Every structure is written in C-alpha cells, then in structure tokens.
C-alpha cells in the first residue's frame, strides 16, 4: 500500500525508493544479474584502460543497459507468471522462454558490440 503523499516531490521520492528496492532485489536474489554486473564492470574497466572515445563508450553503455533491462524485465515477467499460474502450464513456459530469449538476444548483441569496439584495439596492441 502506497502511503498518501500530498506533494508531487514526495511522490517522486517514493517512486525512486521503490525503484531502488527493485534494483536491490535484482542484485541480491538474481545470480544472472550479478553475472551481468560483473561482466559490465569488466567491460567498463577495459574501456577505461584503453581510453576509448566517447562514441565507443556510448555503444558499450547502451549495450550494458539493454542487457540489464532485459534481465530485469525477464525476472518481472517470471514473477508475475508464477503468481498468476503457479502450476505448470505449457503457454506460461513459452512466455518464460521468450522472456529469457530476449535476454539472450540482448546479451548476444552486446557481445557483438564489444567485439566491434575491443577487437581492433586489442589487435593494434598485439601487432
């Protein structure tokens, strides 16, 4: 139950609190989110070490954001489906598979973006 708040500033602050609670839930309870965060940290450290230009940073941050968003939405979809249909149901399984597939697509795209950004830089360092 959301407590009554009279001004819009207080309501906005409450919204942020709930959003941070959702992020905290993801980090604490979802191993895949922790994996993605570790991978993202590695990518950002490599980008800093290679002193990438802003455009390449932008592509990497976009890719990271897309994967984290996908993982969060996948978890939300699964949670709702578990409430609505706790017993096994074939179509619920299909929806869960589709949500997981969306994360896989985002992750694969992120790997391609990372390859486009990092492979030429690493190649230059090795040759």
Active-site annotation holds for 71: yes
- For residues 22 and 71, the answer to whether their CB atoms sit within 8 Å is no
- For residues 68 and 34, the answer to whether their CB atoms sit within 8 Å is no
Candidates 30, 56, 71, 78; catalytic one:
71
Calculate ∠ Cα 75-81-84, nearest 5°: 145
- Could you list the active site residues? 71
């Amino acid at each position: 139950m959301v407590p009554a708040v009279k001004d819009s500033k207080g309501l906005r602050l409450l919204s942020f609190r709930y959003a941070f609670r959702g992020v905290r839930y993801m980090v604490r309870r979802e191993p895949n989110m922790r994996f993605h965060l570790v991978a993202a940290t590695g990518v950002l450290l490599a980008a800093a070490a290679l002193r990438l230009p802003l455009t390449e940073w932008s592509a990497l941050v976009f890719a990271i954001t897309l994967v984290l968003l996908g993982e969060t939405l996948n978890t939300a979809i699964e949670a709702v489906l578990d409430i609505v249909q706790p017993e096994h149901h074939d179509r619920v399984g299909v929806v869960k598979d589709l949500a997981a597939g969306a994360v896989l697509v985002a992750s694969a795209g992120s790997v391609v973006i990372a390859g486009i950004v990092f492979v030429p830089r690493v190649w230059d360092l090795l040759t």
